[in-house]
Amino acid sequence: MELERKYRILFVFNHLNKQFEEIFPEICNGLIKIGHDVHVIYSPQNISEEFEIKLRKVPWINAKKLLIANGFDTSWADIPFAIRRYIKKHNGMDVIHSFGLCCGVLSYPAGVASQAAIINTPDAVVSVVAKNTSSILKRFINDNISYVFNRLCDLILFSSQVDKTNSADDISYRKVASDFIDFAENGDEVSKKLLEIYENAIATKRK
C-alpha cells in the first residue's frame, strides 16, 4: 500500500521485558509492511540470542548493536554521539521511541537535533518508583532526572493501563503528556496502535 507519508522510526533499548521481546519483531514487521522505515539500536548484553535471530529475519529492518550499560556509567560518554551519527547517516528520524530512563536520556539529544517526536516507555512503574533505601543519593538523582526528562519528552507511553494508573501518584509523571498501549496484544495490532500514536505525536510536534 502506497503511503502519502513514510515515517522513519527508531527504537532504542538496552533491555525489554520478556513479553514485549517476544512480539517486538512482529511489531517492526507490521510497520515495515505498511511502508515505514524501521530502525533499531539495541544493546546485546541483555537480549536473548533467540530475539536477535528473529530480529535479523525481519525484511528490510535496519538494526545496530550498541553496548549500553545498565545504570549511569562512564562508558555512556560516546553513546549520544553514536546515536546522532546513526541518525544523520539515515537522513534523520520522524520518531525516536526509547525504552527505559537510561536509553531515553541517551537518545534525547539526537532526537532534539533531528526534530523527531521523542517518545519514552519507562521501565515497569513498580521499579521506577521503588524506594532504594540503600542509597538516598542515587534515588534523589534518579527521581530528579526522571522528573526533568519526562517533561522534555513529547510523550510518555506506558506499556499498560495498569502502569499508567499506578504512575498517577508519582510526582515525576504528573502533568506530562502520556498514553498507554497494551504490549500483551497481537504484534500486528500493537503496530497499528503504535502508528496512530506516532502520527499524533508527530503532528503535535510540528504544529
pLDDT digits (tens, 9 = 90+) for 75-121: 778 999 999 999 999 999 999 999 999 999 999 999 999 999 999 99
Give domain 8-205's CATH architecture.
3-Layer(aba) Sandwich (3.40)
Q: How far apart are CA 198 and CA 68, in angstroms?
A: 25
Q: Which ranges in the chain belong to alpha helices (H)?
A: 18-33, 49-56, 79-89, 101-114, 125-128, 136-152, 161-166, 187-205
Where are the chain's structural domains?
8-205
Top pLDDT among 133 and 45 is at 45
Cell (9 digits) for 130: 521503588
pTM over 0.85, yes/no:
yes
Q: How far apart are CA 111 and CA 129, in angstroms?
A: 26
Binned at pLDDT 50, 70 and 90, residue 2 comes out as: very low
